[in-house]
Amino acid sequence: MEGVAEPRPAVDARAGSEGTRIDLDGVCRYFQVGDTVVKALDDVNLHVDESAFVVALGASGSGKTTLLNLIGSLDAPTAGTVRLAGVELTTASRAERTRARRSTVSFIFQSFNLFPGLTALENVQFGADVAGRDAPETVARQVLESVGLGDRARHFAHQLSGGEQQRVAIARALATGNPILLADEPTGELDFHTGVQILELLRAQAEAGKTVIVVTHNREISRVADRVIELSSGRIVADHRPVGGPAAIADLHW
């Protein structure tokens, strides 16, 4: 873990009003597969600048993961521009891009992606380490407790339930201190009851001021969103806020 951390810039990217902005303009992401071109994203325009619980909803293959990877600078568009916290990722240097990503976004995955050889606490500390935070172990302990897993600090991933592993993964994302959480089907491998608990935890992060973007094929989950972006065949076909506000998580069924 030592050596991975890059020093924070003197002026923290989160300090300005641009700190949590996501701007995609005319974004296309095409994949050449043999003789065919797969248009994973096709002319996507998206602007998010609020602390909100945003759900991107779409069928399998509609481009959800591609969208998150572009927002998180894990991938680059074929055409169009992606700006994260005001940094245009498409023209930025590699170092600028890395800095923007590391100080802005954290990923949460369907299959948790914990390091199997590290304890829960060490997994969470990794998040604090890569973000170059002071007293990473203290940060990790506090965050692990905040997700209700203070008593699981020394457990390894295989000694935890799926819901607990996902909570560790969320804690790892929170330990970075980054303002944007990107979650790719975070309840996809969980039973209904556990999935609902994870949604509650993610919603609470949005209420505490984070920008939380959850992608899912599960329409029920979109009912508890502040904002719903619908994807179909690589295009945004709807972008709306539920009339009357989000439904209560307790009202969900699937």
Pairing, β 87-88 against β 105-109: unpaired
186 binds ligand ADP per the rule CB under 6 A: no
Q: Which is nearer to ligand ADP, 44 or 128 (CB)?
A: 44
- What is the edge-to-edge ordering of all strands in the sheet holding 227-232? 105-109, 180-184, 211-216, 53-58, 227-232, 235-240
Q: Please give the size of the binding site for ligand ADP, defined by CB under 6 A.
A: 12
Distance of CA 123 to the CA centre of its chain: 17
Tokens 């325009």, residue?
45
**The pair of three-digit structure tokens given for residue 249, joined into one six-digit string:** 């998580």
Q: How far is the CB of 58 from ligand ADP (least distance, A)?
A: 5
Q: Determine phi and psi for 168, rounding to 5 degrees.
A: -65, -40
Q: Which is nearer to Mg ion, 55 or 143 (CB)?
A: 55
| Cα 147 to Cα 20, 21, 198, 222, 249, distances in angstroms | 23, 26, 10, 23, 18
110 binds Mg ion per the rule CB under 5 A: no
31 binds, among Mg ion, ligand ADP, none (CB under 5 to 8 A by kind): ligand ADP
Amino acid found at 86: G
CA 223/CA 205 separation, integer angstroms: 17
Q: Which is nearer to Mg ion, 164 or 184 (CB)?
A: 184
205 binds ligand ADP per the rule CB under 6 A: no
Q: Determine phi and psi for 152, rounding to 5 degrees.
A: -115, 15
65 binds Mg ion per the rule CB under 5 A: yes
65 binds ligand ADP per the rule CB under 6 A: yes
Q: Determine phi and psi for 91, rounding to 5 degrees.
A: -115, -10
51 binds, among Mg ion, ligand ADP, none (CB under 5 to 8 A by kind): none
With contacts defined by CB under 6 A, name the span among 44-52, 56-64, 109-117, 170-178 that binds ligand ADP: 56-64
Q: How far is the CB of 63 from Mg ion (least distance, A)?
A: 8
178 binds, among Mg ion, ligand ADP, none (CB under 5 to 8 A by kind): none
60 binds ligand ADP per the rule CB under 6 A: yes
Q: Which residues pair with 58 in a beta bridge?
A: 231
63 binds ligand ADP per the rule CB under 6 A: yes
76 binds ligand ADP per the rule CB under 6 A: no
With contacts defined by CB under 6 A, name the span among 63-71, 82-90, 121-129, 157-165 that binds ligand ADP: 63-71
63 binds, among Mg ion, ligand ADP, none (CB under 5 to 8 A by kind): ligand ADP
With contacts defined by CB under 5 A, name the span among 62-70, 155-163, 167-175, 232-240 that binds Mg ion: 62-70
- Which of 246, 250, 249, 247 is CA-nearest to residue 52? 246
Pairing, β 53-58 against β 211-216: parallel
Residues binding ligand ADP (CB under 6 A): 31, 33, 38, 40, 58, 60-66
